[in-house]
């Protein structure tokens, strides 16, 4: 089968720049790399084809000869039939980038620490604890460094040996045709060392499962969904790696009286018909006790009064929200005969001026059907 044009293989124009060639080769090589397509002969052939194309086009001298003679330049002693990672084309750099992307998390150096996992704890708190802040203690199960071996995983340092298979790198290179592939060492599982006498407490795992009691300070003004980050209180890292973090996710219980909207709070206060008709002073609940609220004569049901700075403190400072009080007129029930007589007498003596809202509604209905 005749060789495909190298520019066609990489999917670039014949006047492509060196950077465009590198980007194009990297894209094709990543797509068809054998590690991403295990056992796929077709993908392996395309990977080899792209590598050969870039080895030629990535070298200015070889590219010039290819542009002039095409594939016939292979037989002119130019040495273009294969490639070497140390050539002047930049092939080694691009090939190295591909390997670093594939194997940056596949084992690596045995001395590299592994960061501990982050943990999440869901905590339920009361409405008051969210409003005023609080301090609570929780028990957190997590993986901690083994005290018996101080994280060695062995009974003593003498029981730890450099892995003979990978030489302590945690990786093994396998030759596949004209390129090599790095894989995690099967003998040491990428740790770069072997243990002849594992620690009896952690059994060589370097960490053990424990429960730690941690105090959590809850700032005033938090709400459901708020997260508190405790740095370093997650699981301990392995091989000397840093600890993860602990995230406290809060869920605030409902309050018996107040409803919350951001830093503002709302409550409903039942009042009698006489109180709203004649006006009165009410004692209304607040977060810190009671406050006096003046209800003007003629106040209608569902009227909302605002008490400034009687709400919740803003989480990031800047004062407090407001308390919104909604008055709800309560209709009397289980009336006595005398009470019914009084109400009937009162209703008979009321005129349109006494009930302007009702009068306006009646007139609107008449206009609608007239």
In this prediction, residue 79 carries a pLDDT of 42
Higher-confidence residue of 85 and 38: namely 38
Give domain status of residue 297, yes or no: yes
**Averaged pLDDT for residues 233-262:** 93
Residue 340 lies in a domain: yes
Do 318 and 369 belong together in one domain? no
Same domain, yes or no, for 134 and 76? Answer: no
| Whether residue 139 has pLDDT greater than 70 | yes
The verdict on residue 60 lying in a domain is: yes
**Last residue of a domain, which of 219, 252, 285?**
252
Domain assignment of residue 128, given as a range: 119-252
- The residue among 103 and 301 whose pLDDT is bigger is 301
Co-location of 13 and 92 in the same domain: yes
Among 40-49, 141-150, 318-327, the least confident range: 40-49
Examine residue 214 and state whether it is found in any structural domain, yes or no: yes
Q: How far apart are CA 130 and CA 253, in angstroms?
A: 9
Per-residue pLDDT for 231 more than 90?
Answer: yes
Residues 325 and 346 in one domain: no
**Residue 5 Cα distances to 80, 107, 348, angstroms:** 14, 38, 103
**Averaged pLDDT score across all residues of the chain:** 84
Strands 264-271 and 323-329: parallel
Least confident of 6-10, 57-61, 106-110, 295-299: 106-110
User: Does pLDDT of 194 surpass 60?
Assistant: yes
Number of domains in the chain: 4
Statement: the pTM of the whole predicted model exceeds 0.75: no
Confidence of residue 230 (pLDDT cuts 50, 70, 90): very high
Which of 43, 44, 62 has the alpha carbon at shortest distance from 53?
A: 62
Whether 258 maps to a domain, the answer reads no
Q: If phi over 0 gives left and psi between -120 and 50 gives alpha, with beta otherwise, what is residue 47?
A: alpha
Question: With 70 as the cut, is the pLDDT of residue 266 above it?
Answer: yes
The CATH number of whichever domain residue 73 belongs to comes to 1.10.287.110
Task: Please report whether residue 370 resides in a domain.
Answer: yes
> What pLDDT, on the 0 to 100 scale, is given for residue 123?
96
The answer to whether 279 and 330 have CB atoms below 8 angstroms apart is no
Q: What is the CATH number of the domain that holds 135?
A: 2.10.230.10
Q: How far is CA 207 from CA 9, 85, 184, 241, 269, in A?
A: 50, 41, 22, 12, 58
Report yes or no on 259 lying in a domain: no
Q: What is the pLDDT of residue 104?
A: 44
Q: Are 14 and 54 in contact (CB under 8 A)?
A: no
Residue 138 shares a structural domain with residue 233: yes
Residue 100 in this model has a pLDDT that exceeds 60: no
Per-residue pLDDT band at 363 (split at 50, 70, 90): confident
Question: 216, 84, 239: which is closest to 152 by C-alpha?
Answer: 239
Stretch 276-305: mean pLDDT = 93
- Pick from 12-26, 61-75, 186-200, 216-230: least confident: 61-75
* Whether residue 144 is found in the same domain as residue 212: yes
Digit-coded pLDDT (tens) for 25-79: 888 888 887 767 777 888 888 888 888 888 888 888 888 888 887 877 765 554 4
105-125: average pLDDT: 74
């Amino acid at each position: 089968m005749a060789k495909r044009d190298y520019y066609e293989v990489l999917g670039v124009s014949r006047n492509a720049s060196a950077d465009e060639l590198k980007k194009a080769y990297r894209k094709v090589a990543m797509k068809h790399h054998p590690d991403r397509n295990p056992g796929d002969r077709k993908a392996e052939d395309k990977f080899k084809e792209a590598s050969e194309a870039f080895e030629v086009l990535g070298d200015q001298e070889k590219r010039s000869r290819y542009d002039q003679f095409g594939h016939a330049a292979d037989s002119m002693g130019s040495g273009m039939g294969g490639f070497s990672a140390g050539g002047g084309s930049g092939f080694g750099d691009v090939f190295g980038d591909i390997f670093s992307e594939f194997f940056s998390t596949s084992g690596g150096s045995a001395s590299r620490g592994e960061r501990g996992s982050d943990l999440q704890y869901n905590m339920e708190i009361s409405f008051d604890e969210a409003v005023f802040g609080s301090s609570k203690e929780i028990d957190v199960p997590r993986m901690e460094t083994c005290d018996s071996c101080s994280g060695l995983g062995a009974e003593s340092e003498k029981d730890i040996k450099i892995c003979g298979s990978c030489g302590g790198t945690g990786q093994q290179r396998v030759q596949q045709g004209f390129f090599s592939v790095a894989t995690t060492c099967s003998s040491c599982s990428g740790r770069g060392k072997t243990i002849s006498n594992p620690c009896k407490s952690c059994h060589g795992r370097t960490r053990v499962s424990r429960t730690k009691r941690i105090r959590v300070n809850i700032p005033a003004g938090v709400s459901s969904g708020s997260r508190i980050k405790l740095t370093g209180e997650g699981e301990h890292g392995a091989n000397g790696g840093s600890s993860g973090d602990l995230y406290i996710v809060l869920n605030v219980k409902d309050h018996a009286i107040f409803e919350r909207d951001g830093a503002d709070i709302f409550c409903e206060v039942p009042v009698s018909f006489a109180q709203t008709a004649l006006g009165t002073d009410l004692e209304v609940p607040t977060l810190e006790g009671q406050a006096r609220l003046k209800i003007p004569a003629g106040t209608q049901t569902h009227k909302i009064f605002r008490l400034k700075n009687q709400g919740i403190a803003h989480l990031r400072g800047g004062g407090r929200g407001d308390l919104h009080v909604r008055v709800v007129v309560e209709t009397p029930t289980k009336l006595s005969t005398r009470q019914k007589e009084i109400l009937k007498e009162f209703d008979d003596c009321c005129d349109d001026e006494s009930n302007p809202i009702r009068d306006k509604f009646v007139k609107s209905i008449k206009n609608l059907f007239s």
